[in-house]
Structure 1
Amino acid sequence: MTGPDELSGPSRTPAGAAPPSRLRAADLLPVAAVGLRTRRTRAVLSTLGVAIGIAAVVSVLGITRSSQADLLARIDRLGTNLLTVTDGRSASGREVPLPVTAAATIRRTDGVRSAAPTAELPGVQVFRSDRIPVTLTGGLSVRVADPSLLPTLNAKVAHGTYLSRATSAYPTTVLGHATARTLGIRDLAGTPRVWVRDRWFTVIGILEPLELAPEIDLSALIGPQIAARDFGYGGRPSRVYVRADVTRTAEVSGLLARATSPESPDEVDVSRPSDALSARLEVADAGTSLFVGLGAVALLVGGIGIANVMVIAVLERRAEIGLRRALGAARGHVAVQFLVESLMLAVAGGVCGVVIGAAVTYALALQRGWQPLIPPAAVGAALVTAVVVGAVAGLYPAMRAARLSPTDALRTA
């Protein structure tokens, strides 16, 4: 009777017959590794094909998970309850401005926590100097805003202070982050000034970046009083930022159009800026599927490479196979030897691929400032896939080696 660690035939033998050939499980790996040790370059190249495919899959899934986690954290931090109400268009395509009372009626809407009206002044630009041609605007604009804008957007001032009821009546301005950078103003040292149409405005503050309000980043903000006195501002907003109750954002979004313009609610545009960030999650998922598919193709090529190497190994080692068969090795022993050899190649490639993919994920995540995340399911699936690829790739060569008869193998060796 054989022990539990032996691969053998039936435990009972007829009287006078030779005992069945045995291959202990403890000897299986050393025997299967003979071909790998004697043909190291070929083994490394075969392993590399599987490693590339596994590394591609693991790194793509890890990078995607890390970036999505960072994006979700940013969405949670910025808030999904910010809504914007902007000028709409009529059925004929004509732009319809918001009514002067838009901000006041929106504030009275149930579920609205705050509302901040803003208006871009057409034809009014901001420059660093009065010597710059008016055509070189740099994409910057001048926007009217009141003190309610800062709390509504959850914005922060990086330098200086924000507009107040007192400073709004004077030629003072608060620059968006991108505006200050474009104008070359890093801080408020030296009391910087900017040229707005035909007069100087003193910069009293610079905002931190506003990801959900990029138009504010590209604007110089002035108060309604100075805008009315110097630029003819009539109090009509072009955009109203609305902060709703978190649990009622969707409900409030459906009420804002009618609250803004009861007579023509279809001519008011209501949007949620965070939807643009959420859409990036779907784009990332689509890109992930594409790159995982490419990784699967690379893994398939690696599996074909292993199968090719194993077939060549069977042809080259006919003398070894014939000698082992002549010394009593069973067909199953030869088949298992070559199958295990193929599995060893694939598993080695899978482990190397996981390590490479994890290293790529960590390097890119740390460079981008993300928290590195590698899904455990991706690692497990990668290793299981490597084993399956090795088994499938080694099945035909193993069966071919097992079918060789000792006399034919020794005769053709």
Structure 2
Amino acid sequence: MDVRDLVGEAVAGMLARPVRSALTTLGTVLGITTLVVTLGVAATAGNQIVGRFDELVATAITVEVPETEHVPLVEWDAIDRLTRLRGVVSAAALAEGKDGANLPVRSNDLVDPARVTTQSLSVLAASTGLPEALRGRMVRGRFYDAGHVRRGDRVAVIGDQAARLLGVTRLDPAPAIFINGHAYTVIGVLGDLRRERNLGSAVIVPPTAGRRFGLRQVSRVLVNTDLGAAALITRQAPAALSPGNGDMLQVVAPPSPTRARDQAQEDVNALFLILGLVSLLVGAVGIANVTLVTVMERVAEIGLRRSLGAARRHIAAQFLLESTLIGLTGGVIGASVGVVAVVAVSAAKQWTPLLDARLAIAAPVAGALVGLLAGLYPAMRAARMEPADALR
């Protein structure tokens, strides 16, 4: 039996019962489709996550400044040197500490025993570039500027959550709040924060006013960079903020976006890969079962072939090739459906589909391998039949 005869007999065996062959192929189709969709969607989603990760996180740097007894490590005007670095989009210095935590703040000077008018809020001092550094916006009013800082004006900006707690809804009457008994005019409400969202419930005052609450030294510096400049600014920021003492500052750099992408793909793969393997296993069992039934139905044919001189290897090869062709057909159909599904999901989510071409090529091979392994036992059973027993 040459190769052409072998292929012809295998194809004829498949087409002799097309409905049964189609249903048998369905298990492999589902398994291969699940694998292709899982790996394709995981790669596409991971790439999308990296894009968002770069935008929101990979450009954010925080510099922690330890407190010293005498001369501060970072002066408030050091932010000007930092913002001159190429790649820095915005930066702001913060003075926080236990002295400014949970201070009593109220929005009027009346003491009403019937209602709670005093709130315990955090008070912090910040440089004028804080809204941009927090990636927020002024919901109402404005942020204080260099003139307020230079004159030592007693003004304050409150977060949007703090405004709700204090009942500050309008700024045109120049409302005042009392921080630990000291009056400050509210000139703005800061909200929609994408960094440090906990500052939405804080009261922010200029550095000159923060000294009254023990907020004299810069404790943190928030920096936003251009995409791809974070690593460079991480090395340069300490020297720009504190020349000669940069090694004492701790820079919290963003994690690698590649690591985030890989982790996202691993999570998605681990979740759905098992489903694809189970589907392939079901498909393999189906192929093995149908091939075994086919062998039992074709006992007379096997006995006749053996009587006419067919060797055991010819009979085994015929049924192995038939089961392999079923698996290969399921792999081709499953790979095609999987690719279309990945593109459809990406289009629905407005993502850029990302699919490894090697996966589309390997999927049919995996289907053929499943069919080959599933047909081993039925083929061996057919090959072991004796001609006389089969004909009888």
TM-score after normalising by structure 1: 0.66
Pair 1:116-2:92 in alignment = yes
Query: Residue 13 of structure 1 aligns with which residue?
Result: none
Q: Cα 1:333–1:347, aligned 2, differ >3 Å: closer, same or farther?
A: same
Pair 1:271-2:252 in alignment = yes
Pair 1:30-2:6 in alignment = no
Give the residue type in structure 2 aligned to 1:398.
A
Partners of 1:23 and 1:333 within 8 A in 2: no
Query: Residue 130 of structure 2 aligns with which residue?
Result: 149
In the TM superposition, what is the alpha-carbon distance from 1:395 to its structure 2 partner? 4.0
Q: Cα 1:31–1:86, aligned 2, differ >3 Å: closer, same or farther?
A: same
Pair 1:287-2:267 in alignment = yes
Q: Cα 1:206–1:259, aligned 2, differ >3 Å: closer, same or farther?
A: closer
**More divergent stretch after superposition (310-319 vs 377-386):** 310-319
Query: Residue 15 of structure 1 aligns with which residue?
Result: none
**More divergent stretch after superposition (331-340 vs 61-70):** 331-340
In the TM superposition, what is the alpha-carbon distance from 1:314 to its structure 2 partner? 1.8
Query: Residue 43 of structure 2 aligns with which residue?
Result: 65
Q: Cα 1:265–1:125, aligned 2, differ >3 Å: closer, same or farther?
A: farther
Consecutive unaligned residues of structure 1, counting only runs of 5 or more, are 1-6, 10-21, 90-94
Equivalent residues in 2 for 1:114-263, closer than 5 Å: 115-120=91-96, 121-124=100-103, 131=116, 134=119, 142-152=123-133, 155=135, 157=137, 159-160=139-140, 162-165=142-145, 169=153, 171=155, 173=157, 175=159, 179=161, 204-210=188-194, 213-215=195-197, 218-220=200-202, 222-224=204-206, 227-228=209-210, 232=213, 234-243=215-224, 249-257=230-238, 260=241
Give the residue type in structure 2 aligned to 1:228.
G
Partners of 1:188 and 1:204 within 8 A in 2: no
CA RMSD of aligned residues (A): 5.0
Partners of 1:86 and 1:238 within 8 A in 2: yes
Report SS of the residue matched to 1:108: helix
Q: Share of identical aligned residues, percent?
A: 30
Equivalent residues in 2 for 1:70-89, closer than 5 Å: 70-78=48-56, 80-88=58-66
Q: Cα 1:236–1:318, aligned 2, differ >3 Å: closer, same or farther?
A: same
Give the residue type in structure 2 aligned to 1:104.
D
Aligned residues: 372
In the TM superposition, what is the alpha-carbon distance from 1:117 to its structure 2 partner? 0.6
Consecutive unaligned residues of structure 2, counting only runs of 5 or more, are 109-114
In the TM superposition, what is the alpha-carbon distance from 1:323 to its structure 2 partner? 4.8
In the TM superposition, what is the alpha-carbon distance from 1:73 to its structure 2 partner? 1.9
Partners of 1:98 and 1:268 within 8 A in 2: no
Q: Cα 1:132–1:307, aligned 2, differ >3 Å: closer, same or farther?
A: farther
Q: Cα 1:325–1:385, aligned 2, differ >3 Å: closer, same or farther?
A: same
Q: Cα 1:333–1:217, aligned 2, differ >3 Å: closer, same or farther?
A: farther
Report SS of the residue matched to 1:374: coil
Give the residue type in structure 2 aligned to 1:281.
R
Report SS of the residue matched to 1:270: strand
Aligned equivalent of 2:368, options 374, 377, 387: 387
Query: Residue 374 of structure 1 aligns with which residue?
Result: 355
Q: Cα 1:202–1:106, aligned 2, differ >3 Å: closer, same or farther?
A: closer
**More divergent stretch after superposition (161-170 vs 336-345):** 161-170
Partners of 1:322 and 1:410 within 8 A in 2: yes
Query: Residue 112 of structure 2 aligns with which residue?
Result: none
